């Protein structure tokens, strides 16, 4: 059922596509987070804008991925932008929602105490509110990374130049070659699981105070 | 401007509204497979989710299933199913089953986890009060827990429906019809009018589906719950469970 010889012959390609999958995901997450961060800070201060902003981001999220990738082909051609722009757009609703929820979840007493100690608005944001919002920021990164890794595979439908491990899925479907389909499918799922675990570890590392609370909550992805 | 004109020309061409490759047939295919898979997913996920939420047993399992479901790329699921179902049934196994199975697999997690958290988060004092009033367990679930959890349960259906419509579009890649056909053909034939016509139809259907479930959610939510629940249910899937549970 699995053609091991093919796997052995294509190790180089598999490594290359895995690296491509990771960098497409990393670019999308970085750009998406940066845009969302700015928008989130803006709507936290002007609450009435939250509805419209999250609404537009939600509409983008609803558009089926094949449609969004394909819609860019005549405009951006088969460049890296065609792969990355939709990936970025899909992360917005996740990041904006989680950053805003995280910042607004900071207890009012804490904010007041910080102001009372003489923190300026900027200092309060960077030294008090954001650290307390980290669990939700990382939760957003977890959801967005898993979803982006899945979407990268779909970008392979647009052309062979990008698509990361999704390239093997589409090529395998074209040639009716199960080994290649399984290679792409299983490795991309493995990437998603690994990304999720990395962000959970990261969160435990940078917010040791939440460890006691997290101990009682369900383990993510795989029981260990 | 050229693209807009091409798209409009394609969408208004009577030839595109007739025959087996016409817009009505393709839309019907897409709606039929989406409805079927959503129904199957509800039949699987809802009883399990309600049971977990009601008993509190297997909560971790439920959350893990949901997380695992999120890690499954839709194209990967279709790809994995394709060789298996094609071997079992050369006709439908190639065209319909891989897409249908992928859609069910991807629709189960949001329905399950939202049913579970919705019921699980019902105020325990209310549940105890109902028990004290002599409610049997199934009455308790049907008359107290489910009505209160309804907005969250419907929120799960809403996420699932978006996921399902999106995956149905991908079915075009493996030979299923549906509206995705126009996108795939438009790209391969360099026919921008067809491509964008397909994009407009697919995006329109997805947004319409999402809006309908949103409306349903609004109408079916008990007025007493509307104020406190506003906005909470629709985003349940986007927040990792432990973060959502943060006080």
Whether pLDDT at B1 is above 70: no
Nearest partner of B45 among B142, B113, B121, judged by Cα: B113
CATH number at residue A86: 1.10.3720.10
Contact yes or no for B38/B177 (Cβ under 8 A): no
Contacts of A63 in chain B (CB under 8 A): 202-203, 206-207
Nearest chain B residue to A2 by CA distance is: B83
Has residue A219 been placed in a domain?
no
| 8 Å CB contact of A173 and B82 | yes
Instruction: Return the residue of B nearest to A75 by Cα.
Output: B3
- Is residue A222 assigned to a domain? no
The answer to whether residue A112 sits within a structural domain is yes
- pLDDT tier at A210 (50, 70, 90 boundaries)? low
Q: What's the pLDDT at B27?
A: 92
Residues of B in contact with A101 (CB under 8 A): 239
Banded pLDDT at A218 (limits 50, 70, 90): very low
Q: What is the dihedral of CA A45, A60, A92, A139, to 10 degrees?
A: 110
CA distance from start to end of chain B: 51
Contact call for A217 and B241, based on CB within 8 A: yes
Residue of A2 and A127 predicted with greater confidence = A127
- Show the CA angle centred on residue B168, arms to residues B108 and B75, nearest 5°: 75
User: Is the CB of residue B125 less than 8 Å from the CB of residue B80?
Assistant: no
Confidence of residue B166 (pLDDT cuts 50, 70, 90): confident
C-beta atoms of A64 and B202 within 8 A: yes
Q: Is residue A159 part of a domain?
A: yes
Q: Give B127-174 as a 3 state SS string.
A: HHHHHHCCCCHHHHHHHHHHHHHHHHHHHHHHHHHHHHHHHHHHHHHH
Q: Write down the pLDDT at residue A187.
A: 93
Residue A69 is assigned to a structural domain of this protein: yes
Q: How many CB atoms lie within 10 A of CB B223?
A: 6
The pLDDT tens digits of the residues spanning B3-56 come to 888 888 898 888 888 888 889 999 999 999 999 999 999 999 999 999 998 888
The residue to which tokens 């940066």 are assigned: A34
pLDDT value at residue B243: 36
| Residue-wise pLDDT tens digits, A17-51 | 999 999 999 999 999 999 999 999 999 988 899 99
Q: State how far residue B117 is from chain A, nearest Cα, in angstroms.
A: 13
Q: What was the pLDDT predicted at B51?
A: 92
Give every CB contact of residue B170 below 8 A, 6+ residues apart in sequence.
A64, A65, A66, A154, A157, B74, B75, B78, B99, B102, B180
Task: Using the predicted structure, report yes or no on whether residue A180 has a pLDDT greater than 70.
Answer: yes
Domain encompassing residue A79:
4-206
Q: What is the mean pLDDT of chain A?
A: 87
* The pLDDT of residue B26: 92
**Which tens digit of pLDDT belongs to each residue from A46-99?**
889 999 999 999 999 989 999 999 999 888 888 889 999 999 999 999 999 999
Please report the ipTM that was assigned to this predicted complex: 0.80
Q: Percent of chain B at pLDDT above 90?
A: 26
Chain A residue with Cα closest to B235: A97
Which one has a higher pLDDT value, A152 or B88? Answer: A152
Q: Tell me, yes or no, whether A67 lies in a domain.
A: yes
- Say if A223 falls within a structural domain: no
Is A213 contained in some domain? no
The predicted pLDDT at position B238 comes to 40
In chain A, whose CA is at the least distance from the CA of B158? A62
Is B71–A184 a contact, with Cβ atoms under 8 angstroms apart?
Answer: no
Domain count, chain A: 1
Residue-averaged pLDDT of chain B: 83
Domains parsed from chain B with CATH numbers: 22-242 (1.10.3720.10)
pLDDT at B246 over 50: no
Supply the pLDDT for residue A212: 52
**pLDDT higher for A224 or A124?**
A124
Shortest Cα distance from A116 to chain B (angstroms)? 24
- What is the tens place of the pLDDT at every residue in B193-233? 999 999 999 999 999 998 999 898 888 887 777 655 444 44
- Look at residue B236 in the predicted model and tell me its pLDDT: 41
Yes or no, beta carbons of B238 and A98 under 8 Å apart: yes
pLDDT at position B226: 65
Of residues B80, B162, B180, nearest to A181 (C-beta): B80
pLDDT attached to residue B245 = 33
């Amino acid at each position: 059922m699995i053609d091991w010889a093919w796997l052995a012959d294509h190790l180089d390609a598999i490594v290359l596509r895995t690296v491509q999958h990771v960098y497409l995901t990393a670019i999308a997450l970085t750009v998406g987070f940066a845009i969302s961060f700015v928008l989130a800070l803006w709507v936290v201060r002007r609450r009435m804008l939250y509805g419209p902003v999250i609404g537009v981001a939600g509409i983008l999220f609803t558009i089926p991925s094949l449609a969004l990738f394909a819609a860019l082909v005549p405009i951006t051609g088969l460049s890296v932008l065609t792969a990355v722009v939709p990936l970025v757009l899909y992360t917005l609703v996740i990041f904006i929602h989680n950053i805003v929820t995280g910042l607004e979840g900071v207890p009012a007493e804490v904010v007041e105490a910080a102001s009372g100690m003489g923190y300026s608005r900027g200092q309060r944001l960077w030294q008090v509110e954001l650290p307390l919002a980290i669990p939700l920021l990382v939760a957003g990164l977890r959801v967005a990374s898993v979803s982006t890794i899945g979407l990268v595979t779909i970008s392979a439908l647009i052309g062979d130049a990008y698509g990361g491990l999704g390239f093997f899925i589409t090529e395998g479907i074209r040639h009716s070659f199960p080994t290649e389909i399984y290679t792409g499918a299983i490795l991309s799922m493995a990437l998603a699981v690994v990304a999720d675990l990395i962000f959970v570890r990261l969160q435990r590392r940078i917010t040791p105070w939440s460890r006691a609370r997290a101990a009682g909550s369900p383990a993510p992805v795989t029981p260990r | 401007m050229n693209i807009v004109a091409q798209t409009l020309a394609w969408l208004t061409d009577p030839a595109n509204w007739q025959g087996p490759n016409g817009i009505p047939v393709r839309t019907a295919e897409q709606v039929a497979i989406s409805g079927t898979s959503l129904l199957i997913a509800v039949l699987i996920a809802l009883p399990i989710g309600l049971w977990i939420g009601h008993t509190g047993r297997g909560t971790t399992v439920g959350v893990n299933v949901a997380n695992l479901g999120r890690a499954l790329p839709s194209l990967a699921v279709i790809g994995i199913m394709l060789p298996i179902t094609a071997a079992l049934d050369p006709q439908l196994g190639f065209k319909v089953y891989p897409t249908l199975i992928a859609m069910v697999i991807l629709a189960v997690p949001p329905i399950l986890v939202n049913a579970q958290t919705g019921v699980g988060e019902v105020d325990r004092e209310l549940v105890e009060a109902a028990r004290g009033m002599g409610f049997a367990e199934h009455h308790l679930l049907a008359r107290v827990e489910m009505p209160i959890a309804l907005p969250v349960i419907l929120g799960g259906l809403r996420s699932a429906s978006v996921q399902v419509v999106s995956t149905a579009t991908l079915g075009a890649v493996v030979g299923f019809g549906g509206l995705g056909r126009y996108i795939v053909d438009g790209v391969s034939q360099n026919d921008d009018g067809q491509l964008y016509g397909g994009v407009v139809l697919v995006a329109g259907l997805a947004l319409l589906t999402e809006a309908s479930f949103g409306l349903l959610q609004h109408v079916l939510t008990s007025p007493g719950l509307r104020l406190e629940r506003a906005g909470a249910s629709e985003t349940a899937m986007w927040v990792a469970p432990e973060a959502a549970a943060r006080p």
